[in-house]
Amino acid sequence: MAVHARLRAAVDADPYIELRPHTTVRSVGQDAHSAWVITSDDQTFRGDVVIGADGHRSVVRGSVSPEKPDATFAGYLIWLGLADESALASSRHWPRDVDIFSAGDDYLLGYPLPGSDGSVAPGSRQIGWAWYDASHNDLLREKGSVVGNVVRHALTSADIPEATFRKLATKAKDLWPAPWCDAILDCIKRRAVLGTPIAEYVPDRLVNGRLALVGDAAHVPTPMTGSGFSASLYDAEAVAESVAAGVRGSTVAQALGGYERKRLSSVRGMVQSGQQFSRSFTGRAA
Ligand SMILES: Cc1cc2nc3c(=O)[nH]c(=O)nc-3n(C[C@H](O)[C@H](O)[C@H](O)COP(=O)(O)OP(=O)(O)OC[C@H]3O[C@@H](n4cnc5c(N)ncnc54)[C@H](O)[C@@H]3O)c2cc1C
């Protein structure tokens, strides 16, 4: 929320940015003179370039890398939840930092957070948790969350069978210490759990002519790298620098080419390093 509010304030302060909420891009195109997007309500927007920042299921990627348009399923999901400190019996032992645990075939990341109002006062903080689990791939396929090798959507609480909630609760008590276990049990009790199938994408290119990709549209690392968000910001910065340099002489395509040269090798390395974790994790759980 804090990041969103600050980005929103930056957008509001810039007269050159026009936000069009609830607008879905259906396709993109380009010719020698311009690039454009066509929205699901058949509007066309043209510009010098189109920068696809449309996440791991990017529509723009299909026009930048038509031979490799989809991020692929990494073979596991992450159960996610967020609990209020006031709901937890064990809040006396409040964690100071991120904790990582490995038990059985699973991993757990737990992280203390400020309360929803930003408060860090004892009693009003929150705990987030992310539980890596490779044993529910059948459920992901049954619910259409993963189709073939492509991630379509997360499992919401409505998708998760009661028996799965019960199994997760029993397993959490076996595997994870307080206060993380208490946070998980609280989320399970409230049915406030999301099951996110993890996708990965190693890019071969970031640019095609006047079209470019940034963020998860360009590269999808496992969250275990902890790098996806910051890499997205570095991309945006590099695009801005390259386009600004392009204004001083080169063509649009040359300017975007500068962005690709700056970023491609490092973002490929980021995703590949995460793939080593994913392979060992799914191999160990197999
Ligand atoms: C469980 C999980 C935990 C993570 N933890 C971390 C972490 O600890 N550290 C870290 O650095 N990264 C983490 N990440 C990765 C991080 O969240 C992403 O790298 C980051 O959100 C990418 O930002 P983005 O703007 O490129 O994509 P997104 O955040 O996915 O945003 C894409 C936007 O495009 C919109 N969109 C999509 N398609 C269209 C369309 N056709 N038309 C119009 N709009 C569209 C979407 O609605 C969305 O608003 C995690 C990811 C997951 C799944």
Q: What is the pLDDT of residue 52?
A: 98
Q: What is the pLDDT of residue 92?
A: 65
> At how many degrees (to 10) do helices 180-189 and 162-175 cross?
170
Measuring CA to CA, how many Å separate 106 from each of 119, 130, 136, 187, 284? Answer: 32, 11, 12, 18, 9
Measuring CA to CA, how many Å separate 229 from each of 22, 34, 158, 193? Answer: 22, 29, 28, 22
The domain limits of the chain are: 47-71+202-285, 72-199
Of 44, 216, 227, 277, best ligand 1 pocket probe by most atoms within 8 Å of the beta carbon:
216
CATH 3.30.413.10 fits 47-71+202-285, yes or no: no
- At 159, give phi and psi (nearest 5°): -80, -15
Q: What is the pLDDT of residue 107?
A: 96
Q: What is the pLDDT of residue 248?
A: 66
Residue nearest to atom 47 of ligand 1 (CA): 54
Distance 32 CA to ligand 1 centre (A): 31
Distance 267 CA to ligand 1 centre (A): 15
Distance between CA atoms of residues 235 and 272, nearest Å: 17
* C-alpha closest to that of 83 among 175, 3, 167, 178: 178
Q: What is the pLDDT of residue 123?
A: 85
Distance 58 CA to ligand 1 centre (A): 10
Residue 210 near residue 30 (C-beta atoms within 8 A)? yes
Residue nearest to atom 45 of ligand 1 (CA): 54
CATH of domain 72-199: 3.30.9.60
From the first residue on, what is the mean pLDDT of each consecutive set of 10 residues in the chain (286 residues)? Answer: 86 94 97 96 96 97 98 98 88 83 94 89 92 97 97 97 98 94 96 98 97 98 96 96 79 91 98 96 74
Q: What is the pTM of this model?
A: 0.93
Ligand 1-lining residues (CB < 6 angstroms): 24-25, 53-55, 59, 78, 80, 130, 196, 215-217, 223, 226-230, 232
